[in-house]
Structure 1
Amino acid sequence: MSASDKEAHYREIITKAVCGKGRKFSETKHCITPGDKPTSILGCWIINHKYVSKKKGDAVEVKGNYDINIWYSYSGNTKTSVATETVNYTDVVSLVMQDSDILSEDLEVIARTIQQPNTLEAVIGSNGNDVDVQVEREFLVEVIGETKISVQVNPEGTSDQWDENLWEEPIEDEEFEDLDPNFLMGDLEE
């Protein structure tokens, strides 16, 4: 088979595909100063997580924020309050798989949280006035762009006869007689 015959059996298709992928786990420490000097930490939770992402060089930058809520006691454990603070973060996720044959710069970036921001630990800081909050989060990012793929083409075209023979075999009435109606039920006493 000559080179031109081989080329005739392949086609190039332009399609959108995942051209880059990355994943990043982060642990961050935030220092929150409540309105009163805390005696003990009663609870800590994170809400209102929002983020945006965009490609920057060979990585994806994820910028976001969330609210940290700290429930604490003060005045010798006689009163309680909740301190709330919005914190910002930036995670740079390296792309470990990249397609160098991207056809245009019009890329779509998808970022998903594998692990929403979550409190690992909340303790009173060494100065006695602050609360140190350890937070974890994890992102998976994908970059989608136009790329070119080559596919092999059947030179004889499609084989409709093969499809008809495979899917349109007649079923005889005798074949139904051998079916066990309790097959799917199994033995219910086990």
Structure 2
Amino acid sequence: MTEYREIITKSVVAKGRKYVKSKHTVQPPHKPSSILGCWIINHKYAAKKTGHKIEVNGSYELNVWYSHHHNTKTSVIIENVSYNDEISLRYRDKDARNDHEVIARVLQQPNCIEAEISEKGQHIVVHAEREIAAECVGETKVCVAFTNEYPGDDDWEDYDLDEELEHINQNVFDHE
């Protein structure tokens, strides 16, 4: 006879992701002649659940290498940038409980798409992109069917567990 049990377990109950393009204006101390390079480094972020969204607060440094004084000198200007992204969630389990555990991971680190000198020639405009995914882990119920029939000792004699285990992929968690 088949019976059913409800098991309460933790699982991913909601997911979301956000891709952002942003534009930052940097004001160097000298009038730029040309842009020699632009890097984004030291990205830090933290995520928390607020309502039905994940709020990601983060920061990174813009490092712009540019020439000035008619391409006779170079300098690097460093600008700290802060951001606040809200990621909307799609719920897989609307009846989940205690879904305040948040897992956020960066899919695309902040990256410079383009750096250019502004039209008036006094500023540097940096175009950047980033993408973050977030998940909420919560308690949910799983319904499992089982039978009350337990095999006797004689029923296990012909069962070869080693043969069954040979078919298991033991490298399933290798990331190579």
TM-score for the superposition, normalised by structure 2? 0.85
Alignment of 1:160-175 (within 5 A): 161=155, 165-167=159-161
Of 56, 67, 71, the residue aligned with 2:61 is 67
Matched letter for residue 41 of structure 2: I
The equivalent residue for 2:138 is 145
Matched letter for residue 140 of structure 1: A
Identity of aligned residues (%): 50
Shift of 1:127: 2.0
Matched letter for residue 80 of structure 1: T
Does residue 92 of the first structure (1) align with residue 86 of the second (2)? yes
More helix by share: 1
The equivalent residue for 1:117 is 110
Shift of 1:168: 5.6
Q: Secondary structure at the match of 1:46?
A: strand
Q: Secondary structure at the match of 2:97?
A: coil
Of 85, 98, 101, the residue aligned with 2:95 is 101
CA distance in 2, matches of 1:33, 1:79: 17
The equivalent residue for 1:31 is 25
Q: Secondary structure at the match of 2:30?
A: coil
The equivalent residue for 2:167 is none
Which structure 1 residue ranges, 5 or more long, are not aligned?
170-190
Q: CA RMSD in A?
A: 2.0
The equivalent residue for 1:172 is none
Q: Assess, with a 3 A threshold, how the Cα gap between structure 1 residues 104 and 158 changes in structure 2: closer, same or farther.
A: farther
Deviations 1:119-177 (A, max 9, x none): 000000112111110101011100001112111112213677358523367xxxxxxxx
**Bigger Rg over Cα:** 1
CA distance in 1, matches of 2:120, 2:134: 39
More strand by share: 2
CA distance in 2, matches of 1:23, 1:133: 23
Of 49, 69, 72, the residue aligned with 1:55 is 49
Deviations 1:6-42 (A, max 9, x none): 6xx1111111110110111111011111111100000
CA distance in 1, matches of 2:42, 2:91: 31
Does residue 133 of the first structure (1) align with residue 126 of the second (2)? yes
Of 17, 20, 42, the residue aligned with 2:11 is 17
TM-score for the superposition, normalised by structure 1? 0.79
**Larger RCO, structures 1/2 (Cα 8 Å, 6+ apart):** 2
Q: Give every structure 1 segment of 4 or more consecutive aligned residues whose post-TM-superposition deviation is greater than 3 Å.
A: 157-164
Answer with 93-102 or 60-69: which moved more. Answer: 93-102
